[in-house]
Amino acid sequence: MKVAIFGAGTMGSGIAQVFAAKGHTALMYASSVASAQRHRDKLAASLNKKVARGKMEQAAADDIMSRVRVEEFEAAADADLVIECVAENMAVKKELLGRLDALCKEETIFASNTSSLSLTEMAQGLKHPLVGMHFFNPVPVMKLVEVIAGGNTPAELVEWTKNLSLEIGKTPVVVNEAPGFVVNKILVPYCNEGVCVLQEGVASAEDIDIAMQLGCNHPMGPLHLGDLIGWDVVLSIMDVLYNETHDSKYRANVLIRKMVRAGKLGIKSGEGFFSYNK
Ligand code: 3HC
Protein backbone atom coordinates (compact mmCIF):
# COMPACT_ATOMS: atom_id res chain seq x y z
CA MET A 1 0.00 0.00 0.00
CA LYS A 2 1.18 3.56 -0.67
CA VAL A 3 0.66 5.73 2.41
CA ALA A 4 1.20 9.50 2.21
CA ILE A 5 1.85 11.04 5.62
CA PHE A 6 1.47 14.79 5.94
CA GLY A 7 3.39 16.31 8.84
CA ALA A 8 6.78 14.78 9.51
CA GLY A 9 7.21 15.70 13.16
CA THR A 10 7.37 13.24 16.04
CA MET A 11 4.06 11.57 15.16
CA GLY A 12 4.39 11.62 11.36
CA SER A 13 7.90 10.15 11.43
CA GLY A 14 6.80 7.42 13.82
CA ILE A 15 3.79 6.59 11.64
CA ALA A 16 6.03 6.43 8.54
CA GLN A 17 8.38 4.04 10.38
CA VAL A 18 5.53 1.76 11.46
CA PHE A 19 3.99 1.49 7.97
CA ALA A 20 7.38 1.02 6.28
CA ALA A 21 8.31 -1.69 8.79
CA LYS A 22 5.19 -3.59 7.71
CA GLY A 23 6.14 -3.45 4.02
CA HIS A 24 4.17 -0.38 2.95
CA THR A 25 5.61 2.56 1.04
CA ALA A 26 5.54 5.66 3.24
CA LEU A 27 5.76 9.09 1.65
CA MET A 28 6.84 11.74 4.17
CA TYR A 29 5.60 15.30 3.68
CA ALA A 30 6.49 18.46 5.61
CA SER A 31 6.30 22.19 4.83
CA SER A 32 8.78 21.66 1.98
CA VAL A 33 10.63 18.82 0.30
CA ALA A 34 13.85 19.99 2.03
CA SER A 35 12.19 19.92 5.43
CA ALA A 36 10.71 16.46 4.79
CA GLN A 37 14.18 15.28 3.78
CA ARG A 38 15.60 16.60 7.08
CA HIS A 39 12.92 14.65 8.99
CA ARG A 40 13.69 11.54 6.94
CA ASP A 41 17.40 11.94 7.81
CA LYS A 42 16.45 12.25 11.49
CA LEU A 43 14.43 9.04 11.28
CA ALA A 44 17.35 7.25 9.60
CA ALA A 45 19.68 8.51 12.36
CA SER A 46 17.35 7.24 15.10
CA LEU A 47 17.19 3.79 13.47
CA ASN A 48 20.98 3.77 13.12
CA LYS A 49 21.24 4.51 16.85
CA LYS A 50 19.08 1.44 17.53
CA VAL A 51 21.39 -0.61 15.30
CA ALA A 52 24.45 0.71 17.16
CA ARG A 53 22.86 -0.29 20.49
CA GLY A 54 22.16 -3.76 19.15
CA LYS A 55 18.37 -3.25 19.30
CA MET A 56 17.82 -3.56 15.54
CA GLU A 57 19.53 -5.35 12.68
CA GLN A 58 21.19 -3.11 10.09
CA ALA A 59 19.22 -4.95 7.39
CA ALA A 60 15.92 -4.13 9.12
CA ALA A 61 16.82 -0.43 9.39
CA ASP A 62 17.87 -0.34 5.71
CA ASP A 63 14.69 -2.18 4.74
CA ILE A 64 12.51 0.39 6.55
CA MET A 65 14.36 3.37 5.09
CA SER A 66 14.18 1.90 1.56
CA ARG A 67 10.41 2.32 1.77
CA VAL A 68 10.35 5.81 3.35
CA ARG A 69 10.36 8.33 0.51
CA VAL A 70 10.26 12.08 0.10
CA GLU A 71 8.48 13.29 -3.00
CA GLU A 72 6.62 16.29 -4.42
CA PHE A 73 3.02 16.95 -3.33
CA GLU A 74 1.60 15.56 -6.61
CA ALA A 75 3.00 12.09 -5.84
CA ALA A 76 0.21 11.67 -3.26
CA ALA A 77 -2.38 11.61 -6.09
CA ASP A 78 -2.43 7.82 -6.32
CA ALA A 79 -1.86 7.11 -2.61
CA ASP A 80 -4.05 4.37 -1.15
CA LEU A 81 -4.14 6.13 2.19
CA VAL A 82 -3.32 9.66 3.33
CA ILE A 83 -2.83 10.40 7.00
CA GLU A 84 -2.66 13.98 8.10
CA CYS A 85 -0.64 14.79 11.22
CA VAL A 86 -0.12 18.52 10.69
CA ALA A 87 -0.56 21.15 13.41
CA GLU A 88 -3.52 20.65 15.74
CA ASN A 89 -5.41 23.50 14.13
CA MET A 90 -8.73 23.05 12.32
CA ALA A 91 -8.04 25.68 9.62
CA VAL A 92 -4.61 24.21 8.81
CA LYS A 93 -5.99 20.66 8.61
CA LYS A 94 -8.99 21.70 6.48
CA GLU A 95 -6.80 23.60 4.03
CA LEU A 96 -4.53 20.57 3.52
CA LEU A 97 -7.40 18.08 3.25
CA GLY A 98 -9.15 20.34 0.72
CA ARG A 99 -6.05 20.33 -1.50
CA LEU A 100 -5.70 16.56 -1.14
CA ASP A 101 -9.39 16.08 -1.90
CA ALA A 102 -8.87 17.74 -5.28
CA LEU A 103 -5.63 15.83 -5.96
CA CYS A 104 -6.21 12.24 -4.86
CA LYS A 105 -7.90 9.43 -6.75
CA GLU A 106 -11.45 8.61 -5.70
CA GLU A 107 -10.42 5.43 -3.86
CA THR A 108 -7.82 7.12 -1.62
CA ILE A 109 -8.72 6.71 2.04
CA PHE A 110 -8.42 9.87 4.13
CA ALA A 111 -7.40 9.60 7.79
CA SER A 112 -6.55 12.18 10.42
CA ASN A 113 -4.25 11.72 13.41
CA THR A 114 -5.97 14.60 15.20
CA SER A 115 -5.61 14.32 18.95
CA SER A 116 -8.78 16.20 19.87
CA LEU A 117 -10.56 17.97 17.01
CA SER A 118 -13.95 17.20 15.46
CA LEU A 119 -13.70 14.76 12.54
CA THR A 120 -17.18 15.79 11.45
CA GLU A 121 -16.16 19.42 11.06
CA MET A 122 -12.87 18.47 9.42
CA ALA A 123 -14.69 16.35 6.81
CA GLN A 124 -17.10 19.12 5.81
CA GLY A 125 -16.95 19.80 2.07
CA LEU A 126 -14.71 16.80 1.27
CA LYS A 127 -15.67 14.22 -1.36
CA HIS A 128 -13.49 11.62 0.39
CA PRO A 129 -14.89 10.29 3.66
CA LEU A 130 -12.63 10.84 6.67
CA VAL A 131 -11.77 8.57 9.59
CA GLY A 132 -9.70 9.25 12.71
CA MET A 133 -6.57 7.17 13.18
CA HIS A 134 -5.05 8.45 16.39
CA PHE A 135 -1.59 7.13 17.22
CA PHE A 136 0.34 7.59 20.48
CA ASN A 137 3.82 8.85 21.19
CA PRO A 138 6.30 7.16 20.71
CA VAL A 139 4.41 5.62 17.79
CA PRO A 140 6.71 2.63 17.18
CA VAL A 141 6.33 1.60 20.84
CA MET A 142 2.75 2.44 21.82
CA LYS A 143 0.28 -0.29 20.92
CA LEU A 144 -2.95 1.69 20.74
CA VAL A 145 -4.75 3.30 17.81
CA GLU A 146 -7.99 5.13 18.53
CA VAL A 147 -10.17 4.65 15.44
CA ILE A 148 -12.55 7.59 15.46
CA ALA A 149 -15.89 7.66 13.73
CA GLY A 150 -16.99 11.18 12.85
CA GLY A 151 -20.65 12.00 12.25
CA ASN A 152 -20.39 10.99 8.58
CA THR A 153 -17.71 8.30 8.64
CA PRO A 154 -19.06 5.16 6.89
CA ALA A 155 -19.18 2.08 9.12
CA GLU A 156 -17.19 0.09 6.52
CA LEU A 157 -14.38 2.66 6.73
CA VAL A 158 -14.26 2.28 10.51
CA GLU A 159 -14.04 -1.50 10.06
CA TRP A 160 -11.32 -1.15 7.39
CA THR A 161 -9.28 1.13 9.68
CA LYS A 162 -9.62 -1.31 12.58
CA ASN A 163 -8.28 -4.11 10.38
CA LEU A 164 -5.45 -1.95 9.06
CA SER A 165 -4.45 -1.05 12.64
CA LEU A 166 -4.25 -4.75 13.49
CA GLU A 167 -2.27 -5.43 10.33
CA ILE A 168 0.42 -2.87 11.33
CA GLY A 169 0.69 -4.45 14.78
CA LYS A 170 -1.49 -2.08 16.79
CA THR A 171 -4.57 -2.64 18.92
CA PRO A 172 -7.52 -0.53 17.79
CA VAL A 173 -10.36 0.79 19.91
CA VAL A 174 -13.34 2.37 18.20
CA VAL A 175 -14.26 5.72 19.65
CA ASN A 176 -17.18 7.99 18.89
CA GLU A 177 -16.31 11.56 18.18
CA ALA A 178 -15.81 13.57 21.38
CA PRO A 179 -13.27 16.28 22.21
CA GLY A 180 -10.05 14.48 23.18
CA PHE A 181 -11.64 11.07 22.41
CA VAL A 182 -10.84 8.61 25.24
CA VAL A 183 -7.14 8.88 26.03
CA ASN A 184 -6.54 12.60 25.73
CA LYS A 185 -9.78 13.47 27.53
CA ILE A 186 -8.31 11.70 30.57
CA LEU A 187 -4.55 11.99 30.10
CA VAL A 188 -4.14 15.63 29.11
CA PRO A 189 -6.09 17.04 32.11
CA TYR A 190 -3.87 14.72 34.20
CA CYS A 191 -0.74 16.47 32.85
CA ASN A 192 -2.43 19.83 33.45
CA GLU A 193 -3.18 18.77 37.04
CA GLY A 194 0.49 17.91 37.51
CA VAL A 195 1.31 21.52 36.60
CA CYS A 196 -1.37 22.79 39.03
CA VAL A 197 0.20 20.73 41.84
CA LEU A 198 3.60 22.23 40.98
CA GLN A 199 2.24 25.78 40.81
CA GLU A 200 0.54 25.39 44.19
CA GLY A 201 3.93 24.47 45.68
CA VAL A 202 2.78 21.04 46.83
CA ALA A 203 6.02 19.38 45.72
CA SER A 204 8.94 19.86 43.34
CA ALA A 205 8.67 18.78 39.68
CA GLU A 206 10.98 15.83 40.38
CA ASP A 207 8.96 14.69 43.40
CA ILE A 208 5.58 15.04 41.65
CA ASP A 209 6.84 12.71 38.93
CA ILE A 210 8.44 10.27 41.37
CA ALA A 211 5.16 10.21 43.34
CA MET A 212 3.07 9.30 40.32
CA GLN A 213 5.61 6.80 38.96
CA LEU A 214 6.14 4.93 42.19
CA GLY A 215 2.71 5.50 43.72
CA CYS A 216 0.74 4.44 40.64
CA ASN A 217 3.25 2.45 38.60
CA HIS A 218 3.01 4.90 35.70
CA PRO A 219 6.00 4.69 33.32
CA MET A 220 6.56 8.43 33.69
CA GLY A 221 5.12 11.24 35.82
CA PRO A 222 2.76 13.94 34.47
CA LEU A 223 5.47 16.57 33.96
CA HIS A 224 7.84 14.28 32.07
CA LEU A 225 4.86 12.98 30.09
CA GLY A 226 3.87 16.56 29.13
CA ASP A 227 7.51 17.12 28.14
CA LEU A 228 7.19 14.04 25.88
CA ILE A 229 3.84 15.04 24.37
CA GLY A 230 4.93 18.70 24.02
CA TRP A 231 3.33 21.47 26.11
CA ASP A 232 2.14 23.20 22.93
CA VAL A 233 0.15 20.04 22.13
CA VAL A 234 -1.07 19.72 25.74
CA LEU A 235 -2.21 23.37 25.64
CA SER A 236 -4.03 23.05 22.33
CA ILE A 237 -5.86 19.93 23.56
CA MET A 238 -6.82 21.61 26.86
CA ASP A 239 -8.14 24.57 24.85
CA VAL A 240 -10.21 22.28 22.62
CA LEU A 241 -11.63 20.46 25.68
CA TYR A 242 -12.49 23.79 27.30
CA ASN A 243 -13.88 25.50 24.20
CA GLU A 244 -16.06 22.52 23.28
CA THR A 245 -17.51 22.03 26.78
CA HIS A 246 -17.03 25.32 28.68
CA ASP A 247 -16.38 23.13 31.69
CA SER A 248 -13.90 24.83 34.03
CA LYS A 249 -12.28 21.50 34.88
CA TYR A 250 -10.59 21.75 31.48
CA ARG A 251 -9.03 25.20 32.07
CA ALA A 252 -5.35 25.11 31.11
CA ASN A 253 -2.97 26.19 33.85
CA VAL A 254 -1.45 29.59 32.97
CA LEU A 255 2.03 28.23 33.65
CA ILE A 256 1.62 26.01 30.58
CA ARG A 257 0.78 29.07 28.44
CA LYS A 258 3.86 30.81 29.81
CA MET A 259 6.07 27.79 29.04
CA VAL A 260 4.74 27.58 25.49
CA ARG A 261 5.26 31.31 24.89
CA ALA A 262 8.83 30.90 26.16
CA GLY A 263 9.42 28.03 23.71
CA LYS A 264 9.87 25.54 26.56
CA LEU A 265 7.88 22.82 24.82
CA GLY A 266 9.55 19.78 26.36
CA ILE A 267 11.82 17.13 24.86
CA LYS A 268 11.49 18.44 21.30
CA SER A 269 12.79 21.91 22.25
CA GLY A 270 15.37 20.60 24.75
CA GLU A 271 13.60 22.06 27.78
CA GLY A 272 10.25 21.73 29.48
CA PHE A 273 9.82 21.10 33.18
CA PHE A 274 13.04 19.11 32.85
CA SER A 275 16.11 19.63 30.63
CA TYR A 276 17.11 17.30 27.81
CA ASN A 277 20.26 16.97 25.78
CA LYS A 278 19.44 17.75 22.19
N1 3HC B 1 10.79 6.51 19.42
C2 3HC B 1 10.97 5.19 19.17
N3 3HC B 1 11.22 4.30 20.14
C4 3HC B 1 11.34 4.75 21.40
C5 3HC B 1 11.18 6.10 21.74
C6 3HC B 1 10.91 7.00 20.68
N7 3HC B 1 10.72 8.29 20.91
N8 3HC B 1 11.35 6.24 23.08
C9 3HC B 1 11.60 5.03 23.56
N10 3HC B 1 11.58 4.12 22.55
C11 3HC B 1 11.78 2.69 22.65
C12 3HC B 1 13.19 2.36 23.05
O13 3HC B 1 14.07 2.31 21.93
C14 3HC B 1 13.01 1.01 23.69
O15 3HC B 1 12.85 0.02 22.71
P16 3HC B 1 13.97 -1.14 22.59
O17 3HC B 1 13.89 -1.90 23.87
O18 3HC B 1 13.55 -1.92 21.38
O19 3HC B 1 15.24 -0.39 22.41
C20 3HC B 1 11.64 1.11 24.38
O21 3HC B 1 10.96 2.19 23.72
C22 3HC B 1 11.78 1.42 25.83
O23 3HC B 1 12.53 2.61 25.93
P24 3HC B 1 13.54 2.95 27.11
O25 3HC B 1 14.05 1.68 27.73
O26 3HC B 1 14.51 3.96 26.65
O27 3HC B 1 12.65 3.76 28.12
P28 3HC B 1 11.43 3.34 28.98
O29 3HC B 1 11.40 1.89 29.29
O30 3HC B 1 11.49 4.33 30.07
O31 3HC B 1 10.17 3.62 28.04
C32 3HC B 1 8.50 5.02 27.12
C33 3HC B 1 10.01 4.86 27.39
C34 3HC B 1 8.04 3.94 26.16
C35 3HC B 1 8.34 6.39 26.47
C36 3HC B 1 7.74 4.91 28.47
O37 3HC B 1 8.26 5.82 29.40
C38 3HC B 1 6.24 5.17 28.33
O39 3HC B 1 5.49 4.30 27.94
N40 3HC B 1 5.82 6.41 28.67
C41 3HC B 1 4.41 6.80 28.56
C42 3HC B 1 4.15 7.21 27.13
C43 3HC B 1 2.74 7.67 26.92
O44 3HC B 1 1.90 7.71 27.81
N45 3HC B 1 2.46 8.04 25.67
C46 3HC B 1 1.16 8.57 25.29
C47 3HC B 1 1.23 10.05 25.22
S48 3HC B 1 -0.31 10.75 24.74
C49 3HC B 1 -0.26 10.76 23.07
O50 3HC B 1 0.70 10.41 22.44
C51 3HC B 1 -1.48 11.27 22.37
C52 3HC B 1 -1.20 12.54 21.63
O53 3HC B 1 -2.36 12.85 20.88
C54 3HC B 1 -0.89 13.70 22.54
* pLDDT tens-digit series, residues 166-207: 999 999 999 999 999 999 999 999 999 999 999 999 999 999
Total-model pTM: 0.94
Mean predicted lDDT score pLDDT of the chain = 97
- 271 half-sphere exposure, CB direction, 13 A CA radius: 6
- % of the chain residues with pLDDT over 90: 98
Residues with CB under 6 A from ligand 1: 55, 115, 136-138, 140-142, 184, 187, 219-220, 225, 229, 233
Q: How much distance in Å is there from the Cα of 220 to the middle of ligand 1?
A: 10
Q: How much distance in Å is there from the Cα of 141 to the middle of ligand 1?
A: 6
Q: Which atom of ligand 1 is nearest to the CA of 56?
A: 18
pLDDT of res. 277: 78
Mutate which of 141, 220, 236 for ligand 1? The one with the most ligand atoms within 8 Å of its CB, which is: 141
Sign of CA dihedral 11, 12, 16, 17: negative
Which residue lies with its CA nearest to atom 8 of ligand 1?
A: 138
Residue 39 has pLDDT above 80, yes or no: yes
Q: How much distance in Å is there from the Cα of 99 to the middle of ligand 1?
A: 34
* Residue 161: pLDDT band with limits 50, 70, 90: very high
Q: How much distance in Å is there from the Cα of 144 to the middle of ligand 1?
A: 13
**Where in the sequence numbering do the catalytic residues fall?**
115, 134, 146, 184
Which residue lies with its CA nearest to atom 34 of ligand 1?
A: 141
Mean pLDDT for the stretch of residues 39-53? 97
Residue 278 has pLDDT above 70, yes or no: no
